[in-house]
Amino acid sequence: MPDMLVNLYASELSALAKKAGSVSVGVRAALPPEMYLVVEWVREHFSDNWASEVSVAFSRQPIACLIAVENGRLLGFACYDTTARGFFGPTGVSEEARGRGIGLALFSDCLQTMKTLGHAYAFIGDAGPVDFYRSAVGAIEIPASDKGLYQGMLRRPKNNPEHGEI
Ligand SMILES: CC(C)(COP(=O)(O)OP(=O)(O)OC[C@H]1O[C@@H](n2cnc3c(N)ncnc32)[C@H](O)[C@@H]1OP(=O)(O)O)[C@@H](O)C(=O)NCCC(=O)NCCS
């Protein structure tokens, strides 16, 4: 999967913010006491790797993790400046809540925050849904011949959960 680049000064950003504004679910920065809940939720719905990244997002001030909440239920999350400076992600929406604009709202709010913090561009590392990012803000794929930041990353092997492997 490629890394992608987003121009935070592109006109598509205001169109995205307008679209995100009509989403009924609330998006806000996560609070420190919510860390255990959000990390557990991300581990359960996505992966240990992403749960680790969310832990890092919570170690920062302001907390670099936005969450989508409806009636006291966590429906999605997104991090910025976490995997590396200038990176957007990881992000995810629970399966049953997908297709309601929540992913776009989280993406939009993170990009606006990154712009406010002084970034001119955002990177999406190892972007899975490339079309989602392309159509949301005109993100472009970064041509690269290797895995960049993720090259050689340790992962938990399926048959030996106690030791990581490349
Ligand atoms: C990608 C993800 C966050 C999108 O969340 P979502 O809340 O379902 O997305 P939205 O409802 O905001 O989608 C808005 C638009 O994007 C489109 N879209 C959603 N997921 C898409 C995908 N995987 N690929 C292409 N387009 C997608 C929708 O069709 C919709 O288009 P429309 O506005 O023309 O109707 C969600 O599918 C998810 O959690 N996926 C698994 C985790 C993941 O891949 N995260 C990204 C890692 S880089």
95 lines ligand 1 (CB under 6 A): no
Percent of the chain with pLDDT over 90: 87
For ligand 1, atom 35, name the residue with the nearest CA: 99
pLDDT-derived band of residue 159, with 50, 70 and 90 as boundaries?
Answer: low
Residue 155 token pair: 């992962």
The Cα–Cα gap between 47 and 40 comes to 10
99 lines ligand 1 (CB under 6 A): yes
Q: Which long-range contacts (CB under 8 A, 24 or more apart) does 67-71 make?
A: 67/27, 67/28, 67/29, 67/30, 67/34, 67/38, 68/25, 68/26, 68/27, 68/93, 68/97, 68/102, 68/105, 68/106, 69/25, 69/26, 69/27, 69/28, 70/24, 70/25, 70/26, 70/97
What pLDDT, on a 0 to 100 scale, did the predictor assign at position 160?
60
The CATH number of the domain covering residues in 4-150? 3.40.630.30
150 lines ligand 1 (CB under 6 A): no
Please state whether the predicted TM-score (pTM) of the whole model is above 0.85: yes
pLDDT in tens, 128-151: 999 999 999 999 999 988 888 988
Least confident of 62-66, 75-79, 141-145, 158-162: 158-162
What pLDDT, on a 0 to 100 scale, did the predictor assign at position 158?
73
The Cα–Cα gap between 106 and 90 comes to 11
pLDDT in tens, 83-130: 999 999 999 999 999 999 999 999 999 999 999 999 999 999 999 999
Q: Judge whether residue 17 has pLDDT over 60.
A: yes
Residue 138 CB coordination number (10 Å): 16
